[in-house]
Amino acid sequence: MTQQSVIQSGDVVHITGARPNFPKAAPVIAALAAAGVAQKLIHTGQHYDEALSESFFQILDLPKPDLNLGVGSGSHATQTAAIMVGIESAIGNSKPAMIVVYGDVNSTVAAALVAAKLGILVAHVEAGLRSFDLTMPEEINRKLTDQLSDLLLITSPEAKDNLEREGLGDREIFFVGNSMIDTLLAHLHEFDEKKIASKLNLDGDYAVATLHRPANVDELETAKDIVSALGQVSEQTQIILPLHPRGKESLMQAGLAKFDQIKVIEPLNYIDFISLVKGAKFVITDSGGVQEETTILKVPCLTLRPNTERPITITHGTNQLVTVSDLVKRVANLSPVKDVVPPLWDGTAGERIAAAIIEFLGRK
């Protein structure tokens, strides 16, 4: 099958590229399938490792992509350009009804830009989140994607204020909840903290850490400070760190492997990872998704960043922002976990998103 013939006119086309996209897309694709909507899935291949990509398709019952662009890694420009060329070529002369993009990765903005220029409607799942930190590549992707989107599907109420502030108040904005949390709730019965503890030979309390944001892992000096703080934390509580390829080189060079009480492992598949988090005493992270997942799992989350685009995980969740110099103290003084859940993080966001898409397309 040639790339040009993959997409049929009238299809709703989902674009996924990187690990955080898969748990967000799976419930939307399932809900649209249940409603009988013709759809296609393009995987850009921004993430391509078994652990970061393939395992999610199996575990989350995602359909096999109709097309994998296989773009792989590269500089932002190289990767974004390759995704754009691949998507434009996949669309060819077809007229899809809509392109649905997720989150804030390069695949998100690249696909939105191609679709907007071809006059194809764009829906953005997880619109309106803002860290107000333009040094984050993801913040650039978020802002540009929202500008290019016709249908803005938001996970939390403050996203609407952010969109209005950027002049997007007259676009179609729907507060639909969080489809990533749908995925978490749908798999709740599969998370087994005892099983993963035994698989990893863990005994007693432990914390989980994940780090991959450029601001934390790109500069060796910063990586060294973080590694040293983690080393101190590990003197009290053993740390398990599934290491994202993005931070591997600098964190290892910064001496991560030299601490007995820090267990560095490969990225885990989704079920193993959430099982591990569920059993953790606390989590140290710079991930966006993990701030949300810990909120639902009621596991204290220390986010090693100066800001978050997900402030609702602080007001309605277990999250707090920490600096490297503060980390040890904040771990020692963890606050009790709040018993509140963000509104509409209820396991049915996928259905609300599907309904919003169908209703919107019906009017066009």
Residues that bind ligand UDP (CB under 6 A): 19-20, 23, 210, 242, 267-268, 270, 273-274, 287-290, 293
Beta-sheet strand order (sheet of 172-175): 67-68, 39-43, 12-16, 98-102, 121-127, 151-154, 172-175
Which helix or strand (DSSP H or E) is residue 220 part of? helix 220-234
Distance, in Å, from the CA atom of 354 to the CA atom of 332, rounded to the nearest integer, reads 44
For the record, the structure tokens of 190 come out as 């599969």
Sequence-ordered list of residues with C-beta below 8 angstroms from that of 203, at least 6 positions apart, any chain: 197
For the record, the structure tokens of 216 come out as 């934390």
Annotation marks residue 14 as catalytic: no
DSSP 334: P
- Measured from the CB of residue 56, what is the shortest distance to ligand UDP in angstroms? 7
Q: How many helices and strands in the chain, by DSSP H and E?
A: 16, 13
Give 40 or 305: the residue with its C-beta nearer to ligand UDP.
305
Which single residue is written with the structure tokens 């694709």?
29
Give 23 or 350: the residue with its C-beta nearer to ligand UDP.
23
Name the active-site residue from 47, 124, 212, 244.
212
Which single residue is written with the structure tokens 């209703």?
359
Q: Which residues are catalytic?
A: 212
